[in-house]
Amino acid sequence: MYIRPPKFIRRLFPSLIWSMPESDRVYLTFDDGPTPGVTEWILDQLAEYDAKATFFCLGKNAEQYPHLYRMIVDAGHAIGNHTYSHQKGWGMSLERYLEDVDFANDILHTDLFRPPYARIKPSQAHRISERYNIVMWDVLSRDYSRLISPRQCLHNVTRHVRGGSIVVFHDSVKSFRNLRYALPRTLQYLQKQGLECSVIEL
């Protein structure tokens, strides 16, 4: 898996948002939550550095843990749609995929969307972009991978991040081994670089 998306993929999906305009801001994002025991920890880390982030939530998790969803919103972070049930667009019809996305949005109420696994067909991207801003990334931490160390996870971010970057972490139990090492050190690094962590607003 690439840390930065290859240029040919960006050219294949030019309407998708891969990064924000270069500035003194960075855009941390967290996929797959909210997750008990992990979401609260992430929120505490972000608060310690006065950092804001965008949480691409699964509709089913926000429905199951409404108090965690409310904690994210109340802390001033942004919400994105990550489908209701973490669907891979490649394996679904256009109609079923749109139904899953819209079902999630009945709970999440956002105009931001990120496809799970980055697996989305051009036809799906075209239709979804009529109603949502599709937000991808230019730095993938790979915190979910058991094949990398927590130190490598941190290096994946600090080596590639720059002003305007959209960085992907995951709000999940699977990612927590790497996340609990990498996130606070990422926040320290960004602060030293004079980069502010902001929500995605489009």
Query: pLDDT per residue over 3-60, tens digit each?
Result: 777 776 777 787 899 999 999 999 999 999 999 999 999 999 999 999 999 999 999 9
Across 153-193, where does the E strand assignment appear?
A: 166-170
Q: How far is CA 140 from the centre of its chain?
A: 9
Residue 33 resides in a domain: yes
Residue 143 resides in a domain: yes
Query: CA-CA distance, 174 to 31, in Å (whole number)?
Result: 12
Residue 2 resides in a domain: no
Residue 31 resides in a domain: yes
Read off the amino acid at residue 120: I
Provide the domain limits for residue 127: 18-197
CB atoms within 10 A of CB 27: 26
Query: CA-CA distance, 121 to 138, in Å (whole number)?
Result: 19
For residue 21, the 8-state DSSP code is P
- Number of domains the chain is built from: 1
What is the torsion angle, in degrees rounded to the nearest 10, for the CA atoms of residue 9, residue 20, residue 190 and residue 81?
Answer: -80
Mean pLDDT of the chain: 94
In contact, 159 and 20? CB cutoff 8 Å = no
The band of 1, judged by pLDDT with boundaries at 50, 70 and 90, is low
The pTM assigned to this predicted structure is 0.95
Q: Which residues belong to the active site?
A: 31, 170
Q: Please write the tens of the pLDDT for every residue from 69-108.
A: 999 999 999 999 999 999 888 878 889 999 999 999 999 9
- Number of Cα atoms under 13 Å in the Cβ half of residue 168: 28
How far CA 83 is from CA of 4, 140, 164, in Å, comes to 23, 19, 25
pLDDT value of position 23: 95
Where residue 172 sits, what CATH number does that domain have? 3.20.20.370
In contact, 95 and 119? CB cutoff 8 Å = no
Residue 79 resides in a domain: yes
Residue 70 resides in a domain: yes
